[in-house]
Structure 1
Amino acid sequence: MRYMLIMQAPESMAVEQAGGVPPAEVFEAMGRYNHDLVEAGVLLAAEGLTPSAEGFVVTHDGESATVTDGPFTEAKELVAGFWILEVASREEAVQWARRCPIGPGVRLEVRRVGELAEFEGVAPTEVLDAEATLRRRIAEREAERHQS
């Protein structure tokens, strides 16, 4: 099963507020954590996110979409990065989340990633088949990208 670990930092602690670059110790601790995840064979993806000033929010009113550029000053917490892990159980996800070297005031939200099979009997079969085809295409493209 897959879990997403979402690192959220209060706006006051966000990298964009702290002058742009975290201390070297933060990079070193995260590097060790990521290394351990890779060595354990559970890491599928991990990325840090750019400052919210470079992002945007899309909202829908039912008829059209509105794009609002960052920074997201109204946010109390900003998403700073994420990991996607593939683990055997919720308990294993909890263990990895507890090891994450987040500092005081930083929040790590952990959510299970839903599997396509969970939508069987809920979503129309043709929608599930189309989604399965898309996921195969993504996997093929990823494999091709790694071969070149």
Structure 2
Amino acid sequence: MIWIDVWLDVLFAKRSPAMRFLILIEPADPADAPALTRYHEELVDAGVLLAGDLSAGFWLLEVDSPATAAEWARRAPCDDVEIREIAESR
């Protein structure tokens, strides 16, 4: 069993600690749907999206830093964007 613990330590030591952020926008105008869909697909392709709902206007991201989360928020195709860090309870 010791080798499993060592392997897990090595595996997780190489990963940077992930942080979760919620990106919120005002409910979108139906005319914005194509741009929001492209943004959603970019999040999926980048592997940072944990959950999201285009009609409700939110995305839950897992990224390595607040700066990365802010960069994704800046890319959102709308004017009013809010970003919140989600703390995990342990």
**Shared fold per TM-score greater than 0.5:** yes
For 1:2, the aligned partner's letter is: R
Residue 112, structure 1, aligned to residue 88, structure 2: no
1:40 is aligned to 46
Q: 1:8, CA displacement in angstroms?
A: 2.6
Partner Cα separation in structure 1 for residue 81 and residue 76 of structure 2: 8
1:90 is aligned to 66
The alignment partner of 1:116 has SS state of coil
1:124 is aligned to none
Partner Cα separation in structure 2 for residue 108 and residue 115 of structure 1: 22
> Tell me, which stretches of 5 or more residues in structure 1 are unaligned?
16-21, 50-80, 118-148
Residue 28, structure 1, aligned to residue 4, structure 2: no
Q: Could you state the TM-score of these two structures normalised by the residue count of structure 1?
A: 0.45
> Tell me, which stretches of 5 or more residues in structure 2 are unaligned?
1-18
Structure 1 runs of 4+ with >3 Å offset = none
> Once the two structures are aligned, what percentage of the paired residues are identical?
44
Q: 1:31, CA displacement in angstroms?
A: 1.1
Partner Cα separation in structure 1 for residue 84 and residue 26 of structure 2: 13
Contact in 2 for aligned 1:8/1:109 (Cα 8 Å) = no
1:88-119: CA deviation from partner (whole Å, max 9, x where unpaired)? 0000000000000014xxx21100001113xx
Residue 5, structure 1, aligned to residue 11, structure 2: no
For 1:101, the aligned partner's letter is: P
2:76 is aligned to 100
